[in-house]
Amino acid sequence: MNRITAAITAVGGYVPDYVLSNAVLETMVATSAEWIETRTGIKERRILKGEGLGTSDMAVKAIEELLKKRGITALDIDMIIVGTVTPDLVFPSTSNIICDKIGAKKAWGFDLAAACSSFLFALSTGAQFIETGKCKKVIVVGADKMSAIVDYSDRSTCIIFGDGAGAVLLEPNSEGFGILDAMLHVDGSGRKYLHQKAGGSVKPPTHATVDAKEHYIYQDGQAVFKAAVVGMAEVSAKIMEKNNLRSEDVAWLVPHQANKRIIDATASRMGLQSEKVMINIQKYGNTTAATLPLCLWEYEKQLKKGDNIILSTFGAGFTWGAIYLRWGQNSE
């Protein structure tokens, strides 16, 4: 009997309408559009506006698109795993809230927090529920409303992040398509370089923590940059090596969109030309857990059955890793 693998059979995405351009950021903090673009590759990002709207609302839109494309309903779904660092609430999980909002009454699920690697880790986790035969239809979401935790007076972080959501559907495949390998890593000693200081159990939120802006993202950009360049390039090269893939065998790299320079270093280490690299950082910035599914969403029409695809991330934690998958269908 052939091995059962988890293939991506549909992709959905959503970005909010409001565009925050580099030109507008110039009026908010001491920066220049030129600095932002040359140092990061970002020209603009999307921001979710509106009272009472959170990460789940963007995820719901991405999932609704996915269900429509696949011609199924929420009742067909067994499980929803949500990669995010900006859950609607600390508890219950955003997965619970999404199941309720879309009417996925037969599904169960949970949130998975691995910062920018959340979607990659969730994809690997979801795939295993398909491989074991426990589930037939698993939705994996990467969604973040980063504007909820960004300090728009801190020029070193507010220029980077944006809001968005992407989702993929995993289904069993017995013809060798889908997720074929994953290499996932964590190094908790890196947590000092990128985190949110207050709001958790170590430092519950108080007036003092809010006054000190400790509910926002703290990042030592250079330290993260250095670790990311090495980590993302290494793991991407290693997963190719492990699976006997030469650069000409790889059709696409789907890299986490944190900084164009990190993406270029990774592609160069893999020996890939820029035409094979999915990029949308210029439009959306760093949407944390949403970067990978938003890339798949935008490039889906260009993907062909049999394409070897490497997904690769690096983020807070530190967390990093790569997935090797073979695309299972031609787009209509």
What residues are annotated to the active site? Answer: 116, 256, 286
- Which positions touch ligand UT7 (CB under 6 A)? 31, 35-36, 39-40, 116, 155-156, 159-160, 221-222, 224-225, 228, 258-259, 262, 286, 315-316
The minimum distance between CB 76 and ligand UT7, in angstroms, equals: 33
- Number of residue whose CB is nearest ligand UT7: 221
Q: What are the contacts of 110-113 at 24+ separation with CB within 8 A?
A: 110/81, 110/82, 111/81, 111/82, 111/83, 111/84, 111/87, 112/81, 112/82, 112/83, 113/83, 113/84, 113/85
Q: Residue 161 gets which letter from DSSP?
A: B
Closest CA to 297 of 97, 107, 69, 96: 69
Closest CA to 22 of 45, 55, 52, 56: 45
Q: Residue 76 gets which letter from DSSP?
A: G
Closest CA to 254 of 306, 209, 307: 307
CA distance 156 to 153: 9
Residues 6+ apart with CB under 8 A from 58: 14, 15, 16, 48, 143, 145, 163, 164, 165, 290
- Asked if residues 299 and 11 have their Cβ atoms less than 8 Å apart, the reply is no
The minimum distance between CB 251 and ligand UT7, in angstroms, equals: 25
- Asked if residues 95 and 80 have their Cβ atoms less than 8 Å apart, the reply is yes
> Nearer to ligand UT7 by C-beta: 33 or 72?
33
The minimum distance between CB 169 and ligand UT7, in angstroms, equals: 25
- Asked if residues 142 and 108 have their Cβ atoms less than 8 Å apart, the reply is no
The minimum distance between CB 29 and ligand UT7, in angstroms, equals: 7
CA distance 189 to 187: 5
Q: What angle do CA 262, 38, 191 make, to 5 degrees?
A: 40
